[in-house]
Amino acid sequence: MELRADCLCKTYDGQTVLKDISFSVQNGETLAIVGRSGCGKTTLLRILAGLLAPDRGMVWLDGQPAGLPGKERLMVFQSFDQLFPWLTLRGNIRYALQKTRPTLGAKGIHRLTERCLAQMELGDAGGKYPYQLSGGMKQRGALARAMAISPKVLLLDEPFSSLDALTRENVLQAFQTLKQATDAAVVLVTHDLEEAVSNASQIALLHPAAGGTLTLFDNRGVDRVSQLKRLLAD
Amino acid sequence: MKQSRIIDAFYHKRWVSRLFFFGLLLALWESLAVFGGISPLLLPRVGSVLTAFVKGFQNGTLLSQTVFSLGIILLGLAISAVLALLLSVAAQLSLFCDRAVDALTVLSHPLPGIALLPLIVIWFGTGAPAVLAVIVHACLWSLLMNLQSGMRDAPPMYTDLGRIFSMSKLRIVLEILLPAAFSQSLAGMRIGWGRAWRALISAEMVFGAIGANGGLGWYLFKQRAMMNTAGLFAGIVLITAIGMVVEGLLFDKLEKATLRKWNAQGLKEAQ
């Protein structure tokens, strides 16, 4: 499984946000996209998810044009409120499964829902509505839903920001569980360099000053945090 | 200790303060009726109103008029709800429909139902369809506006999730945007109910009896014609009581139960 971005370009109101962005991510790998706020990270992620059309360039999935959004490329959002508030946590996961994996049948959906809830340590919270959950539990709930859908590509839009340090650690653990369970190609957008370095095999720095270009780094054996900090400061 | 508890309840429990002021109003009313030198034809005693109220229910008049009014308003609300639903779904599915619904709402919402009465009489006569038309006009636009604004205000990621789940546009509207707009449509229904209730009573007074019944508005009209002021007050009290029960009990409870799920902030504001 390979996700490939090929010369993606996007312009808003005459201002170039993304310029010739190219990279590829294999299954099991994580690419972290870092950059300052408003540099186009979320725009890039939405293009990868198929939710936004690029002005130029293509997104490829296993050598095929990725096309419309679908369960193969699942996006996990930054907001705590990405679970539907009128459904319980269990209901949210079941609903997603009914829509994306209907062939599982009622029993299969039930079993998978319970398994994902248990793996995210949310077994006791399944019957609760989102308003009854803490921010960290909601994010883990969103990750449990992603785990149940089992996408080929996981697109994470700063899912750990706005969490306190302890909860973040908890959710990061849940993220590792999700990665292992799905073996998906992961694109993680973050503004936290430490988080990028400790979770990704590749790091991409998005430069708004250079007209939305991307610099790729292999994240092995070098002090990338200091290097990235210097580059971001420039 | 006991005194401070009563004061605390007065300031913190709305029903206690309301009960107190209702009692005060009744006492003022009774004092004026007894000592104010006002003719009972203008201001009957509280006891006379109570007697007229009980008599009205005993002889079945008030009950049948209440059932009639409530039946017709429920039908009107149901028609408005279906129309609002169809129009807002259409508006979500097509930009052309959205613009058409927007133009229709902007034109119709500010128009008071009473201004339409002469036209409604010409078009529908003075029967039940005319009253229904008034109710639907009174309620539809606020319901439609709230439903649409609820759908528009739904977080964009809900629609994104629908697209990721490969749902059709219609399914996204029906299964995601509609539930997302529920709390706002409930608020619209509440406003609609208030407007429709007032419009219904006015329309019943203007259109008069429809068959054997004419509703509570017609009941009021008849009491005035017969100079039965106590009966008139009994009707007014009943209309107020129904309004309070529906607003205070039904909608309040529904809103608290649903806003709690939909958004906690909304619940705080509602409280």
Element (H, E) at A216: strand A213-218
Among the partner-chain residues A75, A86, A100, the one whose CB lies closest to the CB of B262 is: A86
Which chain A residues have a beta carbon less than 8 Å from that of B260? Answer: 131
- Residues A142 and A89: beta-carbon distance below 8 Å: no
Higher per-residue confidence, B90 vs B15:
B90
Q: Which two tokens stand for residue A182?
A: 């799905």
Termini Cα distance of chain B: 27
Do B262 and A71 lie within an 8 Å CB cutoff? Answer: no
Identify the pLDDT of residue B254: 83
Q: E strands within A29-173?
A: 30-34, 56-61, 64-65, 73-76, 153-157
Spatial separation of the C-alpha atoms in residues B11 and B72, rounded to whole Å: 38
Mean of pLDDT values over B77-101: 95
**pLDDT at position A210, please?**
61
Contact status, residue A97 vs residue A109, Cβ threshold 8 Å: yes
Q: Which of B157, B167, B179 sits opposite A99 (nearest CB)?
A: B167
Q: What is the mean pLDDT of chain B?
A: 87
pLDDT at B269: 43
Note the pLDDT tens digit of each residue in A6-57. 999 998 888 888 888 899 999 889 999 988 877 888 899 999 999 999 999 9
CA B96 to chain A, closest CA, distance in angstroms equals 22
DSSP state of B246: I
Q: Which residues, 6 or more positions from B167, have their beta carbon under 8 angstroms from its beta carbon?
A: A99, B175, B176
Region A55-80: mean pLDDT is 90
Residues B72 and B133: their CA atoms lie apart, in Å, by 11
Mean pLDDT of B199-207: 83
Contact flag A79-B155 (C-beta cutoff 8 Å): yes
Using the beta-carbon criterion (under 8 Å), do B157 and A79 form an inter-chain contact? yes
Averaged over A63-90, what is the pLDDT? 90
SS3 label, residue A209: coil
Nearest Cα neighbor of B114 from B190, B208, B221, B200 is: B200
pLDDT above 70 for B202: yes
CA A69 to chain B, closest CA, distance in angstroms equals: 5
Given a cut of 70, is residue B66 above it in pLDDT?
yes
B63/B37 Cα distance (integer angstroms) = 33
Give the ipTM of the model, two decimals please: 0.88
| CA-angle at A134, arms to A71 and B160, nearest 5° | 25
- What are the structural domains, with CATH classification, of chain B? 56-263 (1.10.3720.10)
Domains of chain A: 2-82+151-233 (3.40.50.300)
Return the minimum-mean-pLDDT range out of A40-44, B92-96, B140-144.
A40-44
Residues of B in contact with A67 (CB under 8 A): none
Say yes or no to pLDDT of B35 above 50: yes
CA distance B182 to chain A (A): 9
What share of chain B has pLDDT > 90, as a percent?
A: 49
CB spacing of B166 vs A99 below 8 angstroms: yes
CA-based torsion, A120, A123, A126, A129: positive or negative: negative
Residue type, A102: P
